[in-house]
Amino acid sequence: MLTQTNGLKFPENAASKEYASSLDASNPLSAFRHKFIVPSKANLASKKLAKPNLSSNPCIYLCGNSLGIQPKAISQYLEAQLDTWSSVGVNGHFTKIEDSPLEPWQSLADQAAKSMCKIVGAAPEEVTAMATLTANLHLLMACFYKPTPTKHKILLDWKAFPSDHFAIESHIAWHGLNPTQSMVLIGPDEGEYKISTKKILSYIDQHANEAALLLLPGVQYYTGQFFDIRTITEYAQSKGLLVGWDLAHAYANVELRLHDWNVDFAAWCTYKYGNAGPGAMGGVFVHEKHGRVDYSQGEDSPQFRHRLTGWYGDHKSVRFKMDNKFKPTPGAAGFQLSNPSVIDLACLCASLSVFDETSITELRRKSVQLTAYLEYLLLKNTTDDTRPFRIITPLNPEERGAQLSLLLKPGLLHKVTNKLHEAAIICDKREPGVVRVAPVPLYNTFSEVWLFVEQFRAALNE
């Protein structure tokens, strides 16, 4: 007998530990776990700085939607960068070091872009590594948000992450406008958490004559909802809006086709599902139509989309002439401002080296199965009336990534999360009552999902 969970079928023995182990044994991506350092229970219990205890029992880490764990390649890439710096000094900007996994510093952002573009579905020229998420949102809005007296509104998510909300609010105020009149928050229906595509399109219709920009998250951080980027982008653009996406929780999580979907711009961080380290360098996408440089009026008069400019947006061929004649690099790289941190780029390239060994399609395939298994175990032998929690993430796999948000009944959050912590299970909580659980396909296992549900049920029942 098979139990079906949103299109995925599980056999009668699927709730057993042995079945979870069999899924791990047969999964083609299982070996990728060994490319990461999973925090050990011993290290979690200690407050002293220590080397990772690789021989000790690992914790169950289900918090990759907040911060991914460390790839083993990080230390190799950092050591290569430090050795380059110490051995050749300033010449590291242009010298290709034999046996190093890193390009010369002047080309290191390009190295990252060549890998990142495959994750977001773009050409290498449409992607660059630079700055951090909120800084990049500010830079992109400086280019794409051009309010007029009649078209000044920005449409955003009702529960936008502060990166988006604060940045949007401040840009509106910067232009001398009133955020309460120019910010349009799109929320779900009463009592719901999912925002339907139909409702988003209706908001676009309602505000099209006064709206200049739509800026939404690809995956909503609180609920884990994956928005229909293609449909929403196409419709908003047909109504005269520019469209940007914050992909902080979508990058390296779900399949994206930013170029084919004609997205105007996007920004993301790389430290969640991307595993590049806390506060790691972010990424930017600018569609090729906005990154073109036209020299039809002469080499000294390039025509390009106005943006805030800096030295590193200047073309490499003239960057060191120091003549203060800006010749923008075509594509997203022309939006760079300053000399990027090579330490940060080394960490980013290290994390991307892992993604280069697989594809986002393969990762997504495992992710759908892993998250569905988590859902199956959580809901098995329960009903809506007896269950002390509610899954507020869409149950349709096409509308979510590697996350389930569990809304607990009032008063349970701290008790449950404390019990999970005691069991060395790391996941994320959001007040007033949500536990966010993120089974990441690169390093999480079906057995870990099974163990989590066992501990979660025990914590609920104590």
Ligand-binding annotation for 188, yes or no, is no
b/e per residue 19-48 (b: at least 16 CB within 10 A): bbeebbeebebeebbeebbbbbebbbeeee
Residues 275-307 have pLDDT tens digits of 999 999 999 999 999 999 999 999 889 999 999
Domain that holds residue 402: 3-65+359-461
Q: Are residues 277 and 296 in the same domain?
A: yes
Residue 144 lies in a domain: yes
Q: pLDDT (tens digit, 9 = 90+) per residue, 20-29?
A: 999 999 999 9
Q: How many domains does the chain have?
A: 2
The CA distance from 43 to 360, in Å, is: 31
Percent of the chain residues topping a pLDDT of 90: 89
Which residue type sits at 301?
Answer: S
**According to the annotation, is 164 in a ligand binding site?**
yes
81: in domain: no
Instruction: Please state, in angstroms and rounded to a whole number, the distance separating the CA atoms of residues 337 and 347.
Output: 20
Report the pLDDT value the prediction gives residue 321, as an integer from 0 to 100: 87
Report d(CA 422, CA 327) in Å as an integer: 57
161 assigned ligand-binding residue? yes
β strands within 1-69, DSSP E = 2-5, 8-11, 36-37, 60-61
Q: Is position 339 annotated in a ligand binding site?
A: yes
Two structure tokens written together for 275: 């595993």
In a shared domain, residues 442 and 418:
yes
Tens digit of each residue's pLDDT (9 = 90 or more) over 92-125: 999 999 999 999 999 999 999 999 999 999 999 9
Q: How far is it, in rounded angstroms, from Cα 207 to Cα 199?
A: 12
Residue 311 annotated as binding? yes
In sign, the C-alpha dihedral spanning 40, 42, 48, 52 is negative
Q: Which of 353, 379, 405 is the last residue of a domain?
A: 353
Domain final residue, candidates 325, 353, 381: 353
Contacting residues for 265 by C-beta, under 8 A, at least 6 apart: 140, 143, 144, 242, 244, 245, 284, 285, 286, 287, 290
Residue 36 marked as a ligand binder = no
Kindly state whether residue 78 falls inside one of the protein's structural domains: no
| Residue 79 backbone phi and psi in degrees, to 5 | -65, -40
83 found inside a domain: no
Query: Residue 442 domain-assigned?
Result: yes
If asked whether residues 211 and 342 sit together in one domain, one would say: yes
What percentage of the chain has pLDDT greater than the value 70?
98
pLDDT score recorded for residue 462: 79
Is 56 assigned to a binding site?
no
166/277 same-domain check: yes
Write the CATH number for 28.
3.90.1150.10
- Looking at the fold, whether 131 and 39 belong to one and the same domain comes out as no
Which of residues 320 and 454 earns the better pLDDT score? 454
DSSP letter at 218?
S
Residues 297 and 281 in one domain: yes
Q: What is the mean pLDDT of residues 407-419?
A: 96
Say whether both 342 and 196 belong to one domain.
yes
| Domain-ending residue, one of 323, 353, 383 | 353
Which pLDDT does position 316 carry in this prediction?
A: 87
- How does pLDDT run across 375-405, given as a tens digit for each residue? 999 999 989 888 999 999 999 999 999 999 9
pLDDT digits (tens, 9 = 90+) for 310-358: 999 999 888 888 899 999 999 999 999 999 999 999 999 999 999 999 9
Residue 124 domain-assigned (yes or no): yes
The answer on whether 373 is annotated among ligand-binding residues is no
Q: Tell me what pLDDT residue 44 has.
A: 86
Distant-in-sequence, close-in-space partners of 150: CB < 8 Å, separation ≥ 6: 209, 210
pLDDT at 1 over 50: no
Of 237, 233, 286, 229, whose CA–CA distance to 253 is shortest?
Answer: 229
162 is in an annotated binding site: yes
Mean pLDDT score across all residues of the chain: 95
Tally of CB atoms within 10 A around 410: 7
133 is in an annotated binding site: yes
Angstrom distance (rounded) from CA 222 to CA 185: 15
Q: What is the CATH number of the domain that holds 142?
A: 3.40.640.10
189 is in an annotated binding site: no
- Cross-strand bridge partners of residue 71: 36
Q: What is the mean pLDDT of residues 351-372?
A: 98
